[in-house]
Structures are given as C-alpha cells and as structure tokens.
Structure 1
Amino acid sequence: MTYFPDYLKTYPNMDSAFPLHIGIHRLEHGFRAHRHDFLEFSFVIEGEGWEIINNVKHEMRPGTFTFVQPYQVHELFTEPGSKLVLYNCMFGMELLMEHGSGDSLAELIEPSQLDAFMHYDGAAREQVEILMRDMLQEYEGNEQWRRTMLAARLKELLVRFDRERRKYTPARPEEDSAVVAVAAAAPVQSARGSSVWPIIYYIHRNYQDNLTLSDLSQRFGMSVSRISEVIKETTGQTFVHFVHDLRLRHASSLLVSTDYSVVDVALEVGFGSYKTFARIFRERKGMVPLAYRKAKRTQTRTVK
C-alpha cells in the first residue's frame, strides 16, 4: 500500500479575502510528516531541533527561517529535553501571484536550487524577529489598513529571506544546475525524472476554467494516465477532487467576504452549474452554500 503523509487542507482564516494566519507554536515532540497546498514559513525563537523537507535535513535553532512550498513533505523534530518555540505563518498561494504586477513574488514558488532555510544571526536575526513580532501584532489587531500592513510584512520577510539565502547558497556546477533546480523544490518527480510542479502550478492558476486531463496531457507532453498518476502521487487526490477542492476553497472565501449570489459564486470559481456546485459543496462542507455563509458571518460577528 502506498503511504501518503498527512494532507493538511485547512488553517485559521483560510476562508477569507486575505487567507493568512500567523501565530506562535510550541513543539515539545516535533510535528508529524505532512504536506499541504498552501505556503508556510517559520522562524525559531527558542529551542533546538531539526526539520526534514523532501528528505533534506536541516538544523533548527534560534534564528532559523524556513520556507515550505506547496506539497513538499516535511517533518519537524525537537531535540530531547528541548522545546521548539517558533513563529509560524500559513498563507494562500494567491497572495504571491499578483496578476499584472511587476512586484509579484510568484517566482519564489518556482523550482529552485536555493535552500529552503536560512540561519540568521546578530543584527539580521534581530531585524527579522522585529518584523515577525510586528506582523503578529498587526494580525491580532483590527486597525485601519491591516491587510495592507500584513501584505507588506509578508513580502518583506520573504524578500529578505530570498536575498540572504542567495548570498550563502554554494554555487553548483553548471551542468548539474537543471537537475538540482528541479530536485530542490519539486514536490514529486515523475518516473521520467521531470517535475510535476509546473502541472500543479498551472492547475492552481487555471482551475476556474474548464480544465481536463486531456488539456494537461497536450500542454505538458505526458499521457493522460501519467498526468492523473502524478497528481494523485503529489496531492493524495484524484484530478477531479483536486480541482473541486480548489474551487470550493475559493467559493468559501467569496461566500464569506462578498455579497455575490450563490449562482454567481458557482460560475466565478469554475462550476458549470449551480446544481453541481451545491451538491459538491454540501457533500464536502456538510451544509448548503447559503447556510455556510450565514454560519461563518455569524461566527465572525461573535469573535469581534
């Protein structure tokens, strides 16, 4: 039987117009192997341990910043007798994919030979810790321009991380760079050694369209059966379930954050009919779309 690490599909604040959550985690016994389709970074405040990302191990100590990409299998381990205390931020891929913007950070989730972690020391560590603290304070507050400030902090942290790791990542032989680039960030390799990430990325960008396995087969030069296989290997879901999951996540956000009619929401996220949308939504969420909207908005008012 094929083993799939846990597939985490939710996080706080996911179903909102600004899908981002940040908090402080305290891990006495690490965290089991898992993967998810959202992005995540962490910054260690206290404690010692290590992390394995796609079978690559790195140390975790105060000042370690780690950036985990979608579908990468990762597991955290706490040094015996220690406790890992770290900032943890989870956010939707769409926050880095700003259409028509020259400042888009989508390149950060392309296959890369760069390390997924960085050890900050001295003044650089202090600066990052101040940014993390400010970001958490902004997240927990409710001041004017909150989302703008959170987006700015998110970008600054990721840009600082990318700049620093580029300084310290050893140069690799030119003839090996293409292989390393794929291996470093791709979540799964196909039997022929090619990266499945471009396929997953394309689905994330185009799930609102009428995507089919045949379309993907023609675009990526792989058979329909192989496309289907690598999607299942990567996400733990069939192609159809994967696309439905992306559409339902978008729909949930629109139901909570807009006044679009349910029919408009269904069409906006890629479902061809309201009946199909309503049926699948109820199967996955346990309630019809209008009931979900009412429940989530009531919950939001209660929290405030």
Structure 2
Amino acid sequence: MTEETKFTQAQFIHPEERIRIHHLNNDIYQSVSWHKHDFVELFYVRSGKAVHRLNEKTFRAGAGDVFVIQAGDMHAFEPITPHFEWIDCMFMPAFIDYDVRTLLSSRKYFASDGMEIEYLMQTMLREYEDKKPAYLTKLRGYLLALLAELGRQGEQDEGVDYVKRKKTRLLQEAIEYVHLHYRDKIKLDDAAGKLGISRSSLNRLFRSQLHDSFAGFVNAYRLEQCSSLLRSGDAPIRDAALECGFVDGKHFRTQFRRRFGMTPGEFRKAAISGDGGTTMLAETDYGPQQPLAIPR
C-alpha cells in the first residue's frame, strides 16, 4: 500500500444527521487514492466498472456491486470504463440499531434481489437531498432494510446458484447499458450483442425478471429521466423529450400521459405547484410502479 489519507466524521458528516449520502461519478473524481476513515461507508456501483482495492484484496467492481467499508479499513479505486457512477452512503454506527460489524469488508455483495438495493440506495439519496420532515427517521428505516439484505446475503452459502447469479449480472449489465445510452437510438440487437446473448434471450430475461420487455423498460426509463427534467428545469418540453431519446412528439405525449396520467405540460405545472408531480416520481424510479425485484 502507498501513503494513505485519513478522513474523519467531522469532515463529511453533520453531527446532528450522523449520515451523508451523495451521488458521484468520474467526471468529479478520476480516481480515489488509498484512504481510511472513522465512519462506515457503503459504496454502491450504479454503472461502469472499476478496480476497487479494499485492505489486502482487489475486486473488479461493476454495476450492482456493493462494498462495506468499516471504520479503519483502507481502500482505493480506479475507474476502468469511460463512465463510472456510484452512490456513497457514509454514516456513524450509532445512527442505526444494527451491528454493522457483522458485514464483511473482505467480500463483495451483490444486488441479488434485482433492483431492491438500487431502489433503496436511490430512495435514501432522494430523502437525504430533499430533507423533508422526518427524513432521518425514514433514512434509518431504509438503511436498516438495506443492511438486513446485505446481512442475509452473508448468511447464505457462497455457492449461490450459478444460473441465478449469471442472470442477475446480465440484467445489471443490460440496465447499465440503458442508463448510458437511453439518449440514443437503442436497438435490441445492439444491446444483446453487447451482452453476448441473443435478442430473444434478452427479452426473455427482462420479461422473467422485471415483467416487462426490454423496449418497455427503455421507454419507462426515458420517461423517468424526462419527468426529472420537467420537474427541475425550464427547458421546453420538446427539448426535454429529445434529450431523453424521444424523436416522435406524438408518441412521447401519448406514452407520458399513459404513464403519469397527465400531459407533460400538466405534469410540469403540478410539480412546480407541489400538487402531485414529485409524489408521483417517488413511486416510479426505474420503470414499473413498484420497486423492481428479481425473484431468487
């Protein structure tokens, strides 16, 4: 190991909150050198790949991977793809009634229930950023559910069924592909070729695990990204639609109304006035109206 840096709670975490969550990518940090800290960190990879070094072990980190960095652990990482995106959850052990020490920093955890961990991390991020009343109470609940899921994995046999693990990894990579290319014209054949499977296998994977076709998932993700633009910006609706990969205005308006129950213009007005736009988004982060879950 090379010379390390030590970070403290006081540098990152407000003492009254005892938790901090943020969304980062390698546009901000090209790499992170060896360091340690006196708080617990959950490092969740949303997209891209990196080499993650944790104490004496080296891991290949990809979409859906979760690492638990205990207080005093040493770690560093370096992205190996042009785009690398992660969510960082830093907290003091006293924030939650859970023995975090039971989670191992010597292993890599997986989003084995499909998108449950992704959903929890993204929901926690939104709660932390919005800071609505009782947000810390809700964060404790979400964090407890997330830690319990990781703990459940740790209690299972390391030899989890290979076929199930492979399906989970393929699905994560397919979703990562959508995250990176949803602005472009996504073809089923291109996505399947990227994963090294047939187009029918890719569609079958999405239908069996997410109960939607690949094209349906792409459409839903584009609508979510567009709804975020409409909620937070003042760009013309047509520009927001184009930015998210919709080239046919009529098709976009039809799909948007079908999904959100209102036109894009009505959605923007509701979001600005607080009459329902943001509430609706909370229920529709990644496509289906419920958190995506892959059955074991």
TM-score by length of 1: 0.47
TM-score by length of 2: 0.48
